[in-house]
Amino acid sequence: MYPDHEPSKIYLEKISQVLDEIEQQRTVEIARWVRKGNVALARNNVFEARRYFDLALEYDPENQEALEGQGKIDSIVARQQASKSQVKNKNR
């Protein structure tokens, strides 16, 4: 590309705009998935919450809110497993 080639400049600007729009849409989608994950978690729906946090992390592996949500889920599951194990051992 030549720096002064006007059609190329216009085309590159359009590409840049489209990429910015895609990034904005993805950011909105990630935020929506995290929100839905938090709502599902508040309703004690661990499976649905994990699904939404997984979706968010698929597109943004470093998303702090989704990672925290996954951590909460892991804690809940660990407590449930420990509780089941205690009940099972009591019944022996």
Answer whether 57's CB lies under 8 Å from 77's CB: no
pLDDT at residue 1, as a whole number: 59
Range 70-80 average pLDDT: 94
The domain in which residue 42 lies consists of 6-90
For 31-79, give the DSSP string: HHHHHHHHHHHHTT-HHHHHHHHHHHHHH-TT-HHHHHHHHHHHHHHHH
Q: Is residue 65 part of a domain?
A: yes
Distance CA 91, CA 22 (A): 56
Higher pLDDT, 41 or 11: 41
Answer whether 56's CB lies under 8 Å from 33's CB: yes
Q: Is residue 16 part of a domain?
A: yes
CATH of the domain at 62: 1.25.40
